[in-house]
Amino acid sequence: MPQYYIWTIGCQMNKAESERLGSYLEQLGYQPTPTAEEADLVVLNSCVVRQSAENRVINKLNALKSL
């Protein structure tokens, strides 16, 4: 079975959206995995209203480049 990983940063709305997306992916046959390295699909759900959040997202994207 394919696996997915969702990384969420931001408000409660983002967290709720990520939970909804995870449920949808599971309906499609995906299973969650605790790390991006094990995933077939990686989703970054973010809100970058603040510079610190934007910096965290950019750092996460750079860390995922090697996958």
Strand order in the sheet with 3-8: 31-32, 3-8, 41-45
The pLDDT assigned to 47 comes to: 80
Q: What is the pLDDT of residues 7-66, one digit of tens each?
A: 998 888 999 999 999 999 999 999 999 999 999 999 999 887 778 878 888 898 898 888
Q: What percent of the chain has pLDDT over 90?
A: 60
Q: Can you say whether the dihedral through the CA atoms of 55, 58, 47, 10 is positive or negative?
A: negative
Rounded CA gap, 61 and 22, in Å?
20
pTM: 0.79
DSSP secondary structure letter of residue 67: -
